[in-house]
Amino acid sequence: MKTPSVDKQKDTVRAQGRHRYQLNVADLAPNIEDFPLTEFPNELNFFSFQSQSKQVLEEFLQLDTQRLLVLQTENMAEYAPFVEGFIESFYQKNHATKIDKFYYQSERTETGQTVFTRATQSQAPEVVTGLYIDSARLFGKLYFDEKHQQGSIQLGMVQEASGGVLMLNVAEFLNNFRLWQRLKSLLVTQNFVWQGEDMQGYFPYEIADYPLNLKVILFGTREELASFHDAELNLYHLADYSELEQVINLTQSDNANKWFWWVQCLADAQEKRIENDAINLLYQQFVRETESKNWVSLSPWRIAKIFQQSAFKQEQDVLDKEMLRQYFIHKDKQQSQLREQSYQAILQDQVYIATDGEVVGQINGLSVVEYAGVPKTFGEPVRISCLVQFGDGEVIDIERKNELAGNVHSKGLMIAESCLANVLHLPAQLPFSATVAFEQSYGEIDGDSASLACFLSLVSSLADEPLPQSIAVTGAIDQFGCVHTVGGVNDKVEGFFAICKARGLTGKQGVIIPKATLEQLSLSDELQQAVADNAFSLWAVSDINQACEIMFEQPLLDEKLTGSLVDKIHHRFGENSDKGGLFARLFRR
């Protein structure tokens, strides 16, 4: 018989379970003013955020022994002008001496033969940039006009940059690796010898070699540099390496203040003044992309593009929050066709997703959908179901059995199974079999962000306790029941919210997320308002016990209480087994 004190304790758990982990509106989006913002810094430019690469560049320019530098960057066209400006400024500050630059002049010998000899002229070192190159552009070309019996020489970029710096795109060498092999030999010998491939047809004249004093910077993405390194295994025996940071950590040094004024400077460059709340909205948008409130984009091209398009057809000199908000809404609608089709399939019950009621062994997980060639990802709910019966302890992943799931997904489900066995304290293998399926999912899935949802569906089926369909769940778990971070949390939450809103918000709907994802949150104004109106809820959990309190409104395991979920599982399987059989012995107290 249950005692009144125990019943009272259970009622307390039910009453507090969901409210204890519920998030406030202030938790749903970051604010740039949470960082210390002060006056305009003494010096502010792109390299104010590049302490490591700045130091590497200075050493590269000063040391004669360093001839090759590799810079990792996502877009050479965007960032090469900043590097070029830095090098030119460095030359000016350090009063770089003029260099003797070679050029060719033709002379006739006593025998009447024309030869090309070297002459010199004094000039400042140059920075030469080549986004796209071929052999003639890089190494030069020799021409002979048979009609006029006249030869000419087109110098290449290696000669133009001699004494200065040549900046090239590593992708060009991936397309023609022979160009790199020849350039590498020039970096080692510092002497250019004209070859037959440099001649366009017949070239009857003698031509002297070209002494070089060449430094080269190679720009490339991580993927391009990885491929290039596979082809040139000795790359970093020749080269130093650094990275141009395209996103910056606002918690380091004075970065938050510098980024705040950097955005203002980019607006000033367009003869615009930007209001603080507009900067905050830009910051929140970048947090969605980096999935961290501490990291934001530094891209001047990206920020300038947002400002230009926000101010398009606007006859005012001020960039305010509403202008940027309308720009982001417009861009979202431009890229939302597939998302809307997916949501309509759910709302028209072509894909069944319940958002009310309770069902045993069924839960709404959350996924991020990506389509090749489409820049916009979006979140949508996915129905996860679980059935259990007495068996040999196997938990069957239907997606994996049909080769519709990746290895990370399968690992997540195995961890959920192991975690459950740990919670139940079984001395042997699980005394039941289970099947877990992602219903009406016909494409390949991967990732472990559904492992918490799979665990809850297993518990629901085993304890014969229903799960609320009004609450969706995302989170990865480990074998000890801790809930860990997942990606795409903003898309996932907003995806489930969109379905619930279209059907009508009831105040009972919401999403459980890992507590570790709080720093990723940057949710829409509409969703924030729904939370403020108590029409929609978010809960943040750090372990499976907290998730069970929310979903079942009762504890997973509580030694002080009888009737916990684990007790119900033990009782249920003990009752349905033979009294003297294996299951009774396993669950006997």
Phi, psi of 265 (to 5 degrees): -65, -40
Catalytic residue check, 492: yes
- Chain-centre distance for alpha carbon 471: 27
Query: What are the contacts of 48-54 at 24+ separation with CB within 8 A?
Result: 48/258, 48/262, 49/245, 49/248, 49/255, 49/258, 49/259, 49/262, 49/298, 50/244, 50/245, 52/242, 52/243, 52/245, 53/242, 53/243, 53/244, 53/245, 54/86
Q: Which of 48, 299, 449, 451 does the annotation list as catalytic?
A: 449
482 exposure class (CB count in 10 Å sphere: 0-12, 13-18, 19+): middle
Residue 182 near residue 139, CB atoms below 8 Å: yes
306-328: buried (b, 16+ CB within 10 Å) or exposed (e) per residue?
Answer: bbeebbeeeeeeebbbebbbebb
How many helices (H) and strands (E) the chain has is answered by 22, 27
Residue 420 near residue 444, CB atoms below 8 Å: no
Catalytic residue check, 51: no
Sort strands 127-130 and 483-484 into parallel, antiparallel or unpaired. unpaired
Q: For residue 337, give the 3-state DSSP assignment.
A: helix
The sign of the torsion formed by the CA atoms of 437, 439, 440, 444 equals: negative
Q: Which of 492, 515, 522, 564 does the annotation list as catalytic?
A: 492
Catalytic residues: 449, 492
